A and B are shown apart, each in its own frame.
Chain A
Amino acid sequence: MAALSRRIFTHYYAWCWGGVRQRSLASCTSPALTSTPAVEEQLTQSPPATTTHTESSMDQILKESLKHPDYFQVAQLFTVEDLFRARVHLGHVEGTGDPHMNQFIFGSRLGHHIIDLDQTAAHLRHALNIIAHIAFREGIILFVGRLPQHQYLIECTAKECGEYSHCRYWQGGVLTNSTKQFGSITRLPDLIILLHSMYTTVQQHYAIRDAAKMLIPTVAIVDSNCNPKLVTYPIPGNDDSAIAIELYCRLFKNAVLKGKEKRKEVLGL
């Protein structure tokens, strides 16, 4: 927790004073209470000599990137067969099912739900696109998951793509009371990716509710026993098999890396 807070704080510090990388206020998802007036003054300053693009051309490129349906070609990262081989279509027993997940269920086989992979593929492509766009704009991405057997994998995934993770005990005010929690003004994540949307077998992860309160978009793998209502970009799929989690981690990591690569290529930053 302390390490995470330090990382976010130093990043924010560097963003404010040291790095001077231009960033439009529109992409800032943390509400006004956590940003200081000094930040706005910094943004109106002229860009340093290191950047090769003018502010207007960079804005132009950023706007153009949004018009493209698949700017980072994330649709080529996986196929429906890959999802099938990773057992993404296997859902829980009917008795554990959440009624809000019925729209994503293909059917049930002898009491076990089967998730519709065609819908999953569409949702996954959309989510990967969002992840890549946020990485393209240097957003902070937080990987969250609470199942102990996949904790290490999620932490490694976050490290490999240069982003953050939090797979431990969730303290209540991490997002909603961050100033008091960390003892200083903190920059909150721009996107939260949940590999497991449940905290325990019966309780949903608090990050989903808190992110919705703080206007932070969430990408979450929702199994047949999860509630997808508060999730911004739900991905209906199996979150209990290790092979499925490995696939998701790989896809999310590749999407983030694609976004960052494109930023270097297009904006030269």
Chain B
Amino acid sequence: MALRVLANRRIISSSYNSLRTCLCRSYSSIPPDEENVLKTSNPSEDEVKKGGFATAFEKYTQVEQEEEIPIAPPKTFISLLRHSKLMQLGDPKGKVIEGSIFHVVGDDLYIDFGGKFYCVCPRPLRNAEDYTRGARVRLRLQELEIATRFLGSSTDMTLLEADAAVIGLIRRASKTSEAKKI
């Protein structure tokens, strides 16, 4: 047991030493080849090895050259569409999404959830006073557009609305902007 520990220590120590020298070599500014040359040459020549303060002074007093931030190429429509929430949603029926109330008429809440159309839902009975303009609500989506073909017509009749039901409240409207509004 003791022998094994000693052996391990030696291995560790030898590996640690080699690692330390490796690190020292990589972190020094002067490449390893020149190190030996400098030791033998005259220190008063042009290439004088600068101390820590000197290098730091140079670094922090130099005029900062603005790095050119590469401007990302404009996103293509196809890539935007592929990574859009609409594609992630899949079949809208039964999906739980978040929307915000943008208009209130009596007990009807007009909620925009980021689709083509908004949905109109009745105000829930629980926490009814919290459902004001600007509040964020959780919805269960049924349809993105209420449209159906009636007998005798050649095109669908659309209601220009989405179909969703309010499940609950996520965040009340902020007091500063929405306090006065219904």
Q: Chain A residues in contact with chain B, CB under 8 A?
A: 79-81, 84, 87, 89-93, 95-97, 106, 109-110, 112, 114, 116-118, 201-202, 225, 238, 240-242
Contact = CB atoms under 8 A, between A and B. Distances in A.
Contact of A201 (B84, B114, B158): B158
Given A110-B90, A112-B145, A93 B156 contact: yes
Contact of B156 (A80, A96, A110): A96
Contact of A80 (B77, B148, B157, B160): B77
21 contacts: A79-B74, A80-B74, A80-B77, A81-B80, A87-B114, A87-B116, A89-B77, A89-B81, A91-B116, A93-B145, A93-B156, A96-B147, A96-B156, A109-B86, A109-B87, A114-B81, A116-B77, A117-B77, A118-B77, A202-B155, A202-B157
Given A89-B77, A117-B77, 16 more contacts: A81-B74, A81-B80, A84-B75, A84-B80, A84-B84, A87-B115, A87-B116, A91-B116, A95-B155, A106-B77, A110-B92, A112-B144, A201-B157, A201-B160, A202-B157, A242-B112
Nearest to A95: B156
B115 to A, nearest CB: 7
A238 B148 CA distance: 20
A112 B91 CA distance: 11
Contacts of B112: 242
Contacts of B145: 92-93, 112
Contacts of A110: 90-92
A109 B89 CA distance: 11
Interface of B: 74-77, 80-81, 84, 86-87, 90-92, 112, 114-117, 144-145, 147-149, 155-158, 160
- Which 9 pairs from chain A and chain B are nearest by CB? A95-B156, A90-B116, A117-B77, A93-B147, A96-B156, A84-B80, A93-B145, A80-B77, A96-B158
Contacts of B116: 87, 90-92, 112, 238, 240-241
Nearest to A114: B81
B155 to A, nearest CB: 5
Contact of A240 (B92, B149, B156, B160): B160
Contacts of A96: 147, 155-156, 158
